[in-house]
Amino acid sequence: MSGPVSEFFAGRTVFITGGSGFLGKVLIFKLLKSCPKIGEIWLLIREKRGQTPEERLQGILKSPMFKEVEGSLSKVKVITGDVSEKGLGLKPADRRKVIENISVVFHSAATIKFDEVLTKAVFLNVRGTRDLLNLAKNMVKLRAFIHVSTAYCNCHTSKIDESVLFAPPKAQDIIEMCETGDHEVLNSPEKTLEIIGDRPNSYTFTKAKAEELVLEAFEKIPTVVVRPSIVVAALQEPFPGWIDNMNGPTGMVVGAGSGFLRTMKVDRECKADLVPVDQVINLLCVAAERMSESRAPSLPVYNMCSGDLNPILWGQIESIFQPFLLEYPPEKMFWYPGGSFKKSAVVDMMCQIAFHYIPAYLTDLCKVAMGQKPYMVNILNKMVKAIAALEYFTNREWDWSTKNVRQLCESLEPKDRITFDFDVRAVDWKSFLRSYVQGTRHFVLKNDPNSMGDCRKKLQILKLCHYGLQVIMFVMIFNFFKYLLSFIY
C-alpha cells in the first residue's frame, strides 16, 4: 500500500516548468516511479536549436534514467511555451487546458548562470514567475504551487531564516524597468551592480525578487518555497551518482580529474553546503502533499541545506575527492591529477599563472607551430570565468535555519520516510562523493566502464612525467641559484 504522498498525486495532472533541466528530469522520474497512479505530467517546453518541443521531449525521455519507468512515459505531455516570454508564450487553447486541469505546479525553470545579463535573468526568473502565478490564480483544481528557489537568494546576510525578505526595488518595478529601459545600459556592469545592490550577481538578486512575488500570491493560492543549496549528484535515484551537467562541484571534478584544473580559491574551513538532487526532489513532492492537506497560515519556506544538519568542509571534500580521482581516472587527461585549494588570492593567482596560463599558452604555441588550431587558452578562459563566479560561495559560509525541513521530515509516515527520503543527516559523505566521481565519469563524460584499466595505465605514465618534470625543474632552479651564488662568493 502506498503512503499519503503517493496517494496525493493519484489521478492528478501536474504542470512542470524547467522539466528539461537537471532537477526537472529527476522530478519526472520520481513522480512516475513513486506515484504510479498519477494522472499526467505536462511540461512547458520551448523550441530550441531547430527542435520542436515534441522532439525535445522525446530526446529527454530517451535518457537511460527513464528505463525503469518506460511503461509510464506516455503520461508525459508537452505544452508549448517559454517562461522568458510574456504570458509564458502560451497559446489561448493551451492556457485554457492548463487552467481547467492542473492540480499541482512545480516551477523550477530559471537561468542558473551566475553572470547572466540582468534583463534576461529578470525576464526568466522574475517575470516568468509572475506570469505563472497569475495563471495559477485561475486554476480551478490547484492544490499546491511549489516554487524552486535557492538557499543563496539572501546570501548578502550571514543568517538566513526560512522566510522571505522584502527589499527595494519592488519586483514589478524591476520587470517594468527591463521591459521599457535600454538593455545595453541595464546590462552594463556598472548599472547592474547599482541595481542588485549588495547581492553578488543577477541570479541571486532575481531569485529573491521572485520569492517576493510568491509571498504576495500566497493569500490567493497555496504557494510553497523550497530553497536548495548546492544541488549535486543523486544519492540513490535514478542511479547513485547520476548527474548530467558540469555546474558547480561537478566542473571541479572534471577539471581536477583531467589534470587541467590545478588551483582554485577556496577557504578549506568553510562549509560546503551540498545536497543530493533526489533528496531535493523528494522534499518538493512532500511539500506539495503537505500544503494540499493543511493550508499553512503563512508561506511555508524550506531551506534544503546540509550545513546545519550534516556539515562537511571544503577541505574535507578536497581530501576525500583526491584519491577517488586517481581511482577512477577519465579517458581524456591533460596531465596527472593534482592541485589544491588556495585561501590566498595572491597565492592562487601565482599558481594560476604557473600551472594554468603558462602551460596553456605553451601548448597553443606548439599547436600553431605544427599547423594545428590552438584551443587550450580558449578552454582555460572559460574555466577561469566559471571558477570566478563560484568564488563568492566557496569562500564564505552561512547559517541557514532548517527548522521547517526538520519538522517536515520528522512528520512523515514510515512508508513515505523511505520512499520520499530527504533526511540529509543520513548521508555518508565519503560514500556519496565516491559515487559522485564515478557518476561524473559515466554520466557526464560518458566514459566506457571497460576503459578503466587503460586509463589507469595512462595515469601511471602521466605520474612519471609529472614527477620527472618536477625533478627537472628542481635541478634547473637549484643550478640557477648555484650559478648566481658563484658570482657572490
**pLDDT, tens digit (0-9, with 9 covering 90-100), for 173-182:** 999 999 999 9
**pLDDT average, residue stretch 420-441:** 96
* Selection from 401, 384, 158, 105 nearest residue 270 by Cα: 158
**pLDDT average, residue stretch 102-108:** 97
pLDDT of residue 2: 65
Residue 32 has pLDDT above 80, yes or no: yes
pLDDT of residue 145: 97
223-228 β-sheet, strand order: 76-80, 40-45, 13-17, 102-107, 144-148, 223-228, 301-304
pLDDT of residue 21: 93
Q: Name the packing angle between helices 429-439 and 249-257 (round to 10°).
A: 70
- The percentage of the chain sitting over the pLDDT mark of 70, rounded to a whole number, equals 99
What are the C-alpha distances in Å from 377 to residues 263, 297, 337?
16, 55, 19
Q: Can you list the domains of the chain with their CATH numbers?
A: 4-245+271-313+397-444 (3.40.50.720)
Residue 79 has pLDDT above 90, yes or no: yes
144 Cα distance to chain centroid? 24
Give the confidence band of 89 by pLDDT, cuts at 50, 70, 90: very high
Residue 487 has pLDDT above 90, yes or no: no
pLDDT of residue 102: 97
* Beta partners for residue 13, in sequence order: 40, 102
Q: What's the chain's average pLDDT?
A: 92
CB 360 within 8 A of CB 255: no
Residue 1 has pLDDT above 60, yes or no: no
CB 400 within 8 A of CB 155: no
**What kind and span of H or E run contains 276?**
strand 274-276
Read off the pLDDT of residues 212-231 as tens digits, 9 standing for 90 and up. 999 999 999 999 999 999 99
Residue 386 has pLDDT above 90, yes or no: no
* Beta partners for residue 41, in sequence order: 14, 76
Residue located via cell numbers 581511482: 327
- The percentage of the chain sitting over the pLDDT mark of 90, rounded to a whole number, equals 75
CB 284 within 8 A of CB 148: yes
* Selection from 110, 99, 200 nearest residue 148 by Cα: 110
Distance in angstroms (rounded) separating the CA atoms of residues 175 and 179: 6
pLDDT of residue 489: 64
* Selection from 140, 113, 103, 116 nearest residue 21 by Cα: 113
CA distance from start to end of the chain: 88
**pLDDT average, residue stretch 450-473:** 88
Range with the lowest mean pLDDT among 58-67, 187-196, 278-287, 372-381? Answer: 372-381
Range with the lowest mean pLDDT among 23-27, 369-373, 471-475? Answer: 471-475
Residue 12 has pLDDT above 80, yes or no: yes
Give the confidence band of 394 by pLDDT, cuts at 50, 70, 90: very high
Residue 88 has pLDDT above 90, yes or no: yes
At residue 485, what are phi and psi to the nearest 5 degrees?
A: -65, -25
Distance in angstroms (rounded) separating the CA atoms of residues 202 and 118: 6
Residue 469 has pLDDT above 90, yes or no: no
Residue 354 has pLDDT above 80, yes or no: yes
pLDDT of residue 268: 95
